[in-house]
Each structure stands twice: as C-alpha cells, then as structure tokens.
A and B are shown apart, each in its own frame.
Chain A
Amino acid sequence: MKFTSVFDIIGPVMIGPSSSHTAGAARIGRVARDLFGRQPKWATIHLYGSFAETYKGHGTDVAIIGGLLDYDTDDERIKTAFAEAEKAGMTYTFLPETAHTEHPNTARIVMGDDDGEMSVVGISIGGGKIEISEVNGFKLHLTGGMPTILVVHDDRAGCIANVANCLAMHAVNIGHMEVSRIERGLTALMVIEVDENVDDRIIEQISYIPHITKVSKMNT
C-alpha cells in the first residue's frame, strides 16, 4: 500500500504550483540531504520523464535545491532557493535526460563535498508523496513513512548481527529490514525501518562497528 495516511491525500500544505513536481521534488531533495547527512557543497541533478520536460514551469529545480537546503514543502524560501544556495555556497547543475525510467517523475541527485559523495534516486508518485529507489547504486524501496537507518558495510559475517545488537542495546525496535549487496564479499547495504526516530548518538555508535563504512538516517 503506497499511501498510508489521509494526510497523503489531504496535504501537504505547500508552496505551489505542483504537488508532484514542486512539493515532491522538495521532499526528494530534503531526503537526499538527510541521507547525505549534511548540506552538500555541490549537486548535479539529473531529471527524467515529466520532470525533464516540465521542470522549469513547475519550479522543480528551485524545489529540489530548497530541499537540499533543508526546506519543508511549505517554506516560502523555496521560491528564492537559487539565491539562498548561492549565499550558502552550494553549486548545482540540472541535466534534463532523455533516458526512459520506470516512473515518469524521477530525479537522480549526485551530491558531495570535500569529505564524500553520494547518489540518490527519488521518484515523485503523486500528491507530494515520494519514494527513494536507489542510494549509491543499491536498489531499495524507501517510502519515508517510517524512520529509517541506512548502513553501508563490507559484506562480512556478523555485520548485520552487530548492528541489530547495537539497536537492541538502545531499545530501538526494528519494524522492517532489507539487506542487499552489489557483489558477494564486497559492499553491502542494510535498510532498517525502526519504530521511532533515532538520535545521532546511536548513529555514531553504529559507525564505530567494524566493517561499517557509512551510516545515514532518515527521520520522519
């Protein structure tokens, strides 16, 4: 079930003109920033399908930049996000693409700073609701409906148990969990949906576990 709340239908409160192309775009940008863990210094945004065809008219570009600046869908500053990004020292490029994607409203945000890079693919499925379908090349299915922890780690025995133990010690209950890897023995990803937002202290502790390379979280 894609839509779980009445406020997915009656809402969000937002700056116009398009729930999928403006509010959804802002949310994709904001979740990407969340996953990156901080405000990126630069971002290259690839737009596909209807996003590529109509992004200027819908303010999709300013909305994604607004999201990367941590603005919510109803933040009036979305309108002037380009100027705000400049003030904040963030550069950006938009690339409308012709490649066909599964969903018509898809954006790939490649962002980074001196300390790292990340690639996030988001799709806007209607009414301002979004899904994250890829992070750093890993296919996944993140709806943002539940607080989520993403852990990139070496594909070694015991990694999953160690992370689960750390969460258990802090009495964090796991609601849903997916694990995947690009190739056996190399890099793997855990996507862990939990019942409540987790604080930065827990995220930091997980990052100290051996063979863990990166931890990000997405609160709701």
Chain B
Amino acid sequence: MDVLFHNVRELVERAEQEGKLISEIMIEQEIGMTRRSREDIMAQMDRNLTVMEEAVERGLRGVTSVTGLTGGDAVLIQNYIQSGNALSGDLLLDAVSKAVATNEVNAAMGTICATPTAGSAGVVPGVLFAVKNKLNPTREQMIRFLFTSGAFGFVVANNASISGAAGGCQAEVGSAAAMGAAAIVEMAGGSPQQCAEAFSITMKNMLGLVCDPVAGLVEVPCVKRNAMGAANALVAADMALAGVTSRIPTDEVIGAMFRIGQQMSPSLKETARGGLAATPTGQALARKIFGSAADVQS
C-alpha cells in the first residue's frame, strides 16, 4: 500500500475530507503499511503509553542520574504546585514537571519510550498526563493522542529530521513539542487544521534551537528544554484552539527547520563542542566527569 500522506497538507486534507481524526489516518496507514491488525497496533501503543506512565511516576518519586548532574527537579516543581503559589498555572506546571520527570528517568538510564527521541521523550507524556486531569480522556483517547503525535512526527522525520546530530535540538525537542501541541488540540476537540496550526506555532518558536549537551550527556540542558517544550506546546495548543493561525503553512515551517539544521554548525549538533557545552562551567563539568580526555576545546 502507498502511504496515505507525505506531508501535513495531505494529512489534514484526508482527515477533513473523510471526516476522521488525524489519529485515525495514522492508524489506517500503519495497518496498510505493516499489514498488522488494528488490535495489535493499538495494543503496542497501549504498552508504550504504560511505559510513559511508569516513567513519569518514577520521576515524580525522585531520581538522580549517574553523574549527579540532573534529578529531583520534577519533585521540586510538584511540591511548588502543591503550595498554591504557582504563577504560570497548575496545569502548565504539571506538564512541565512530568516532562522533567521523564527526562530525569532517561538520564538515569531508566526505561522510557522515545518520543520521537530519548532526549526529547518528556514533552509528549508531560503534556498528555497534564491535560488528562482536565479533559478526562478514555484510555483509547490517550492512545490516540500518541498516534496524532506520531502522525506529525512521521512527516517531520521523513521530510526533515528528528535527530539532534543532524538538525539540532529544534529537530528533537522542537519536533516533540510541536507533535504534542497538535495532539492536545485533537484531544480537546479541535479540528485537524487546528492541530496543524498548533504544530506550526510551536515549531516556529523552536526554530534554531541548537543541540549543545554538556559533556555530551543527555542531561544539561536537555531536561529543562523538555520542560519548556511542554510549556510551549500547551500555550500553542491554546492559541490554535482560540482560533489563531500560522501565516506560514506547516510544511513550509518543517522545510525551514530542515534547512536551518543543515546550515547549523556541526559544533552545535550533538558534538558537545559548542554552545553550553563549550562554556567554562560546561567544560569544567566535562573534565570532572570524564577526566581530561573530555576536554572538548579544540
């Protein structure tokens, strides 16, 4: 079977013409491409959802990475929400804490589900398990949330990149945030076009984000970038649901992300040679963790 969509325009058109959800188009394509049954495909996504749930729970109990660079922030944020003093909103901060929780587990070499990558695995579960408390979705709707995220991620992966080494952090946390924004819109009852608008608004604000991990570890600044990716996704989803649209069509935003990634210096693409990794403190941390061999200044 041929693929049902090569870009976001085709994805949205097909969903709107057939009166289906984006998640449904993704499920139908998966059935067609793999010849697996719907039950089988839904069950696999259900297992991925469970892995995400367990990672969030584990992170909220508190973890520390092997290096000690990250861990414990998810707990701090949850405690702060409980204090009732949060300024930016409980749901937003809940998403942030759950995104952080997932990435803290990842940095501790725990089990996570890459969404679309491990370094960006916090964003989609973060927003999902936060909006869950407000929208009260069924288990199937939560599974569909992941298919909607996956549909947009599928387009990005094939037309641009989801690799930090190839496209910088915009390709990882940027993609994850935009995917999450689109999925929030579908769960909240928005149209397929509104999903695409939320995706565009998010991605436009992630363009240019470099991948500059200190000591090459998926810790600093990755964990906090997932936090902001989740915040970005929620705000963009609200903007799209309010009726705000993107002047630049989604596929062109994805094209821009791809070209920016190509133009980005290799020192800013997961080589730990530029950006925050090259700061005095970043280098001092690298030396402390790996000894002089990790002195990355060339």
Give chain A's interface residues, CB within 8 Å of chain B: 1-20, 22-23, 49-50, 53-59, 74, 76, 79, 103-105, 124-128
Residues B117 and A126 in contact, CB atoms below 8 Å apart: yes
Which residue from chain A places its CB closest to the CB of B23 in the assembled complex?
A6
Known: A7-B44, A57-B272, A79-B109. A19 touches B290 (CB 8 A): no
Question: Which B residues lie within 8 Å of A58 (CB)?
Answer: 216-218
Residues A50 and B269 in contact, CB atoms below 8 Å apart: yes
Question: Which B residues lie within 8 Å of A79 (CB)?
Answer: 109
Question: Which B residues lie within 8 Å of A1 (CB)?
Answer: 3, 158
Chain A nearest CB: distance from B169 CB in Å? Answer: 13
| Cβ-closest 8 pairs across A and B | A54-B216, A126-B163, A16-B106, A9-B153, A17-B218, A57-B216, A6-B150, A57-B217
Question: Which A residues lie within 8 Å of B192 (CB)?
Answer: none
B95 contacts chain A at the CB level, 8 A cutoff = no
Question: Which of B165, B216, B218, B266 has its CB near the most chain A CB atoms (within 10 A)?
Answer: B165
Q: List 28 A-B contacts (CB under 8 A).
A: A6-B26, A8-B154, A9-B115, A9-B116, A9-B149, A9-B154, A10-B114, A10-B150, A11-B48, A15-B110, A16-B108, A16-B111, A18-B117, A18-B119, A19-B116, A19-B118, A49-B271, A53-B271, A53-B296, A55-B216, A56-B290, A56-B294, A58-B218, A104-B266, A105-B163, A126-B165, A127-B162, A128-B117
Question: Which B residues lie within 8 Å of A9 (CB)?
Answer: 115-116, 149-150, 153-154, 157, 162, 179
Chain B nearest CB: distance from A22 CB in Å? Answer: 7
Question: Which B residues lie within 8 Å of A12 (CB)?
Answer: 113-114
Give per-residue flags for B264-281: 1 if the beta carbon is below 8 A from chain A beta carbons, else 0. Answer: 001001111100000000
A49 vs B216: C-alpha distance when bound (angstroms) = 12
Give per-residue flags for B105-136: 1 if the beta carbon is below 8 A from chain A beta carbons, else 0. Answer: 11111111111111101001000000000000
B232 contacts chain A at the CB level, 8 A cutoff = no
B229 contacts chain A at the CB level, 8 A cutoff = no
Known: A8-B157, A16-B105, A53-B296. A128 touches B163 (CB 8 A): no
Question: Which of B51, B157, B217 has its CB near the most chain A CB atoms (within 10 A)?
Answer: B157
Question: Which of A2, A13, A104 has its CB near the most chain B CB atoms (within 10 A)?
Answer: A13
Question: Which of B150, B179, B296 has its CB near the most chain A CB atoms (within 10 A)?
Answer: B150
Question: Which B residues lie within 8 Å of A11 (CB)?
Answer: 48, 113-115
Residues A16 and B150 in contact, CB atoms below 8 Å apart: no
Q: Which of B38-60 contact A (CB under 8 A)?
A: 41, 44-45, 47-48, 51
The answer, among B41, B153, B166, for a CB contact under 8 Å with A104, is: B166
Residues A126 and B48 in contact, CB atoms below 8 Å apart: no
Main secondary structure of the interface of B (DSSP, over half): helix
Question: Which B residues lie within 8 Å of A56 (CB)?
Answer: 216, 290, 294
Known: A1-B3, A10-B45, A10-B149. A50 touches B270 (CB 8 A): yes
Question: Which B residues lie within 8 Å of A15 (CB)?
Answer: 109-111
A211 vs B147: C-alpha distance when bound (angstroms) = 48
Question: Which A residues lie within 8 Å of B219 (CB)?
Answer: 17
B34 contacts chain A at the CB level, 8 A cutoff = yes
A58 vs B47: C-alpha distance when bound (angstroms) = 25
Residues B271 and A54 in contact, CB atoms below 8 Å apart: yes
Question: Which B residues lie within 8 Å of A5 (CB)?
Answer: 30, 33-34
A78 vs B284: C-alpha distance when bound (angstroms) = 28
Chain A nearest CB: distance from B145 CB in Å? Answer: 10
B interface size (C-beta, 8 A): 62
A20 vs B29: C-alpha distance when bound (angstroms) = 25
Residues A3 and B113 in contact, CB atoms below 8 Å apart: no
Give chain B's interface residues, CB within 8 Å of chain A: 3, 26, 29-30, 33-34, 41, 44-45, 47-48, 51, 105-119, 121, 124, 146-147, 149-151, 153-154, 157-158, 161-166, 171, 179, 213, 215-219, 266, 269-273, 289-290, 294, 296
Task: Contacts A15-B109, A16-B218 known; list 10 others, CB within 8 Å.
Answer: A9-B162, A13-B113, A16-B108, A23-B114, A23-B118, A50-B165, A53-B272, A59-B109, A126-B162, A127-B114
Known: A6-B147, A50-B165. A57 touches B213 (CB 8 A): yes
Question: Which A residues lie within 8 Å of B110 (CB)?
Answer: 15-16
Question: Which B residues lie within 8 Å of A59 (CB)?
Answer: 109
Question: Which B residues lie within 8 Å of A17 (CB)?
Answer: 106-107, 109, 118-119, 217-219
Which residue from chain A places its CB closest to the CB of B156 in the assembled complex?
A9
Chain A nearest CB: distance from B44 CB in Å? Answer: 6
A3 vs B295: C-alpha distance when bound (angstroms) = 36
Question: Which A residues lie within 8 Å of B44 (CB)?
Answer: 7
Chain A nearest CB: distance from B173 CB in Å? Answer: 13
Residues A13 and B117 in contact, CB atoms below 8 Å apart: no
Residues A19 and B117 in contact, CB atoms below 8 Å apart: yes
Residues A53 and B216 in contact, CB atoms below 8 Å apart: yes
